[in-house]
Structure 1
Amino acid sequence: MGYYIGIDLGTSAVKMLLMDANGDIIKSIAKEYPIYFPQNGWSEQDPQDWWNAVKAGIQEITAFCDKSNIKGISFGGQMHGLVMLDENDKIIRPAILWNDGRSAKQCKYLNNEIGKKKLTEYTANIAFAGFTAPKILWVRENEPENFKRIKKIMLPKDYIAYKMTGIHSTDYSDASGMLLLDVKNKCWSKEMLKICGIDESVMPKLFESYDVIGVLKSEVAKELGFSSDSVKVIAGAGDNAAAAVGTGAVGNGKCNISLGTSGTVFITQNNFSVDSNNALHSFAHADGKYHLMGCMLSAASCNKWWLENIIGTKDYAESQADIKQLGENKVFFLPYLMGERSPHNDPDVRGMFIGMSMNTTRNDMTQAVLEGVAFAIRDSIEIARALGIEIKRSTICGGGAKSQLWCKIMANVLNMDIITMEKEEGPAFGAAILASVGCGEYKDVCEASNKIAKLNKIYKPKGELVKKYEIAYRRFKEIYPTMKLWFKN
């Protein structure tokens, strides 16, 4: 039986798992690495830290298996990060990450001077501070010597694929978030490359997520302890597309909500479409089709911040144990700790509590954090519904999905079934599934995902609670428009 390695190159750690052909997980681990904040609003990592962690992790998860049975490796990964290599394929500077806010000026230039209409025509999307193209413009403007040295631009997970194979590659789903891809036609946008001042030769070769890009280099295979360098490396996908594969969100009309560091609403489509208001991203999917996605920058990380940094506890279950009265909380939380993407596209907005009184308890504020994230997720759901997309149920994944209370809140705030997964392994699981498809274990991504991804528990909305949360959501929606100008000062 063949084994497949799934690698999720996350922001705080790389998560890896070994999966057999039936979708059973043999072993999974995580390896942390540092994140650097050299200035307020900046966020960087050293790609060499990623590679070191990946090598150590692969050696660990394969230590007790017959390595001759390992057939393929694939990836999910943090999107939008800018990795720049010179003529010798050496890293020019630390990678600028998805949650880095330094390119606000460049985003304004792209959206206002180039214009949102043209950006949408070129790429199906508009500029957000996290996207890759604004980062390239920032480097050109602020680090011209580094800009001149650029010979290859890559995304985070693709640097790992390069280290394994020597091939500069990316997949359509991850490339969709660069603001450099013509998503509809699945090719690099010549107009956007010209705007950024880079040649197409700088860009990696494009693949579908399930395509084989190459095999392990012999020296890498030897270092990892593999007897053969015939292990196939499959392109992989952006983290949300990979997570969607692992939850069965492939094919037309599926929805997956991810409550990780960031939060996403992921809606699958067979055909390409664009939200005319550009509140949702129009991206390629890992199954070869397309998807719409709303992304909030701080989701489960809001709860982590509140409990660990403010309250001083890591006992998440205990902190929620006494929260019973839903739909009647007088405290609201704006979950924009790092600015916000969908639907506001506002890097300046920040988080806030509102509505506290002398009767407010810690439980009220903890509950407000969970509800605030759910309300922000609903903002993206409402945009999809306004486009005529009917969403009656959604799978849910990410660290936040482990909270039964949060799932219950989600079901009633969104007024739809919320379904957890039997295996909650996130993008690493989807990556392993993509590896199995690339190696011919399954005929396509839909077949593999539908056979391997198993549903667990269904949380159903309840009528009276839905009504209470409808009133609360309307109040939540008033907070940002009221406060947004204050955050500009």
Structure 2
Amino acid sequence: MEQVLIGVDAGTTMIKTVAFSPDGDAIHRSSVANAVKRPESGWAEQSMVTTWKKTAQTISEVVDELDDSSKVAALGVTAQGDGCWLVDADGAPVRPAILWSDGRAGEYVREWQTEGITDRVYDVCGGTQFPGSSLVILRWLREHDPESYEAADTVFFCKDWLKYKLTGELTTDLSDASLPYLDVETGEYADEVLDAVGMPEVADMRPPLAEGTAVVGEITDAAAIETGLDVGTPVVSGFIDVAASAFGSGAALPGDGSSVVGTTSLNQTILDEPPSDGARAGITLALGEGLWTKFMASMTGTPNLDWAIEEIMDKSAFNLVEEEVESIPIGSDGVLYHPFLSSAGERAPFINPNARAQFMGLTQEHTQAHLVRAVYEGISLAMRDCYSHLPYDADEIYLSGGGANSDFWCQMFADCLNATIVVPRGSEFGAKGAALLAGVGVGAYGDLPSAVEETSAVERSFEPRPEKVQQYRRWYDVYRDAYEATFDVWDERSEALADLRYMSGSGPYQPKKKSVTGKDTAGGG
């Protein structure tokens, strides 16, 4: 009987389930959209019940496609990280999940920065708090939704909610729990973090920890009915999608780089020890088995390009857009773009909820194509900015996500980062990483690096061109100097906008609060 591994990847907007053969080939897949609700400006929520139902639907559709000679050896789950997913003592959702991209708790980030709490937490957890971080959201709930806060029995993350529905077991893994609950060096819960923020009661909400390759439970009778899986099928703990996607794409050894250019721009390097560079930038995740990853998830992803093509070029044919912008030289003839388009601001390699996108250097000679070229370059420069704050200079970066589909952009990444860009064969690397973890958990592979080696292949690669590297190095200096000079302006803009809304009667009075940002307070997430 042929063994099959199933990986589930519950992303922010899409839930995917994929069945893989032991050699890493995708056999069957199913996906479904999962809407993000925005009940107020800057908020981002999802129904926990809907997220489970849609996940069960995709699993069921994949299982239905398997032939009678196939047996599911194990299932692994990965999902969007951070945010706040709460259940009560009966395991029922307390309220809709508040997501990693939610900006409502920005005031507490600023408060903790000012009071030095952010630095104290970083020294333990290896990561900087941002508005979508679990502990920051809990602080907001305690102040603004105390009923939900009091009803919460367990706080965990999206993948952990799904594993609970599959197995009835409440757990989380080291990678998801690293920020903000772990001592990243020991891999154990750190009570001093809760004491630092004045929330010691959260200790009772934390579920048991399990390493990513550990079998945490088996498919229950109820889950079998909804998913079509056999009762007793092992379920493995899994990693946050950041780490799962790295291993799924081929990055498995210390020093390997991995980037996902999608909704966010996710950049990381695999480590064999927690970094000791002293820079409070990025987030370090404990993975277990002697591995860590340090990453920066910038908010500067492909939505910038989607917006530019729709609102500036108004062209639906992606290849036609690239043909037009490819002839424009590096630097877009002087147009610089900072891709901070998210309403939640930026969180890597600096943190400022008030950061906003901007074009600089426009003259009447510039065209629509110049602006779109500047957007491509802005996202690339933001990626370089992240890697410049990571402990190792990765000379080989495994690239996935929507940005990997463009040869033009891949070459730009190679030139801008001065690194070989490797596009791996296949797709759905988050689900693949979850499946590989499941395989290690049930003994299908010896360990995670060997699982990656046995299942990965390169589709195409791009080498940096020395003359282009020099040009991008110079343009990056301008990019970084320009945004650093704008920190105070972003804060002033936010204050002025709040004043204007108040004066016009369309908003409440808001006391002025500035972000504490700068070179020494860089953050990730």
Q: TM-score normalised by the shorter chain: which range applies?
A: over 0.9
CA distance in 2, matches of 1:375, 1:355: 16
Alpha-carbon displacement from aligned partner over 1:337-372 (angstroms, at most 9, x marks no partner)? 121111111111111122222222222222111110
Q: Secondary structure at the match of 2:354?
A: coil
1:231 is aligned, of 205, 230, 233, to 233
Alignment pair present for 1:345 and 2:351: yes
The aligned residue for residue 512 of structure 2 is none
Q: Secondary structure at the match of 2:325?
A: coil
1:485 is aligned, of 480, 485, 488, to 488
The aligned residue for residue 134 of structure 2 is 132
Cα RMSD (Å) = 1.7
The aligned residue for residue 24 of structure 1 is 25
8 A Cα contact 2:127 2:281, kept in partner:
no
Q: Secondary structure at the match of 1:276?
A: coil
Alpha-carbon displacement from aligned partner over 1:123-171 (angstroms, at most 9, x marks no partner)? 2223222211101111011111111111111101111000000111111
Counterpart of 1:393, as a letter, is E
Shift of 1:312: 4.3
The aligned residue for residue 255 of structure 1 is 257
The aligned residue for residue 219 of structure 1 is 222
The aligned residue for residue 427 of structure 1 is 430
Alpha-carbon displacement from aligned partner over 1:24-49 (angstroms, at most 9, x marks no partner)? 11022320021111111111111112
More deviation, 323-332/46-55: 323-332
Q: Secondary structure at the match of 1:322?
A: helix
CA distance in 1, matches of 2:113, 2:362: 38
The aligned residue for residue 184 of structure 2 is 183
The aligned residue for residue 295 of structure 1 is 297
The aligned residue for residue 449 of structure 2 is 446
Alignment pair present for 1:334 and 2:338: yes
8 A Cα contact 2:166 2:219, kept in partner:
yes
Shift of 1:288: 4.9
CA distance in 2, matches of 1:10, 1:185: 28
8 A Cα contact 2:77 2:431, kept in partner:
yes
CA distance in 1, matches of 2:37, 2:231: 35
CA distance in 1, matches of 2:292, 2:298: 20
8 A Cα contact 1:153 1:202, kept in partner:
yes
Q: Secondary structure at the match of 2:389?
A: helix
* Number of aligned positions between the proteins: 484
The aligned residue for residue 158 of structure 2 is 156
More deviation, 159-168/213-222: 213-222
Shift of 1:311: 4.3
Alpha-carbon displacement from aligned partner over 1:183-203 (angstroms, at most 9, x marks no partner)? 111111112234324243311
8 A Cα contact 1:298 1:337, kept in partner:
yes
CA distance in 2, matches of 1:6, 1:157: 11
Shift of 1:115: 2.5
The aligned residue for residue 82 of structure 1 is 84
8 A Cα contact 2:213 2:440, kept in partner:
yes
* Cα distance change of structure 1 residues 286 and 45 upon mapping to structure 2, 3 Å threshold: farther
2:406 is aligned, of 403, 408, 417, to 403
CA distance in 2, matches of 1:270, 1:468: 33
Alpha-carbon displacement from aligned partner over 1:395-451 (angstroms, at most 9, x marks no partner)? 111111111111111001111111111113231111111111112100111110111
1:71 is aligned, of 70, 73, 80, to 73
Q: Secondary structure at the match of 2:412?
A: helix
The aligned residue for residue 522 of structure 2 is none
8 A Cα contact 1:136 1:196, kept in partner:
no
The aligned residue for residue 278 of structure 2 is 276
1:171 is aligned, of 142, 163, 173, to 173
* Cα distance change of structure 1 residues 314 and 77 upon mapping to structure 2, 3 Å threshold: farther
Q: Secondary structure at the match of 1:243?
A: helix
Shift of 1:456: 1.8
Q: Secondary structure at the match of 2:326?
A: coil
CA distance in 2, matches of 1:383, 1:297: 16
CA distance in 2, matches of 1:48, 1:60: 18
The aligned residue for residue 318 of structure 2 is 316
Q: Secondary structure at the match of 2:73?
A: strand
CA distance in 1, matches of 2:247, 2:177: 17
Q: Which runs of 5+ in 2 are unaligned?
A: 493-525
8 A Cα contact 1:111 1:119, kept in partner:
no
Counterpart of 1:62, as a letter, is V
* Cα distance change of structure 1 residues 200 and 66 upon mapping to structure 2, 3 Å threshold: farther
Shift of 1:320: 1.2
Q: Secondary structure at the match of 2:324?
A: coil
More deviation, 410-419/289-298: 289-298
Shift of 1:327: 1.4
Q: Secondary structure at the match of 2:274?
A: coil
Q: Which runs of 5+ in 1 are unaligned?
A: none
Alignment pair present for 1:377 and 2:378: no
Alignment pair present for 1:473 and 2:476: yes
Q: Secondary structure at the match of 2:399?
A: strand
Q: Secondary structure at the match of 1:69?
A: strand
Counterpart of 1:377, as a letter, is M
More deviation, 317-326/19-28: 317-326
Paired-residue identity, % = 27
The aligned residue for residue 143 of structure 1 is 145
Shift of 1:122: 2.8
CA distance in 2, matches of 1:401, 1:131: 28
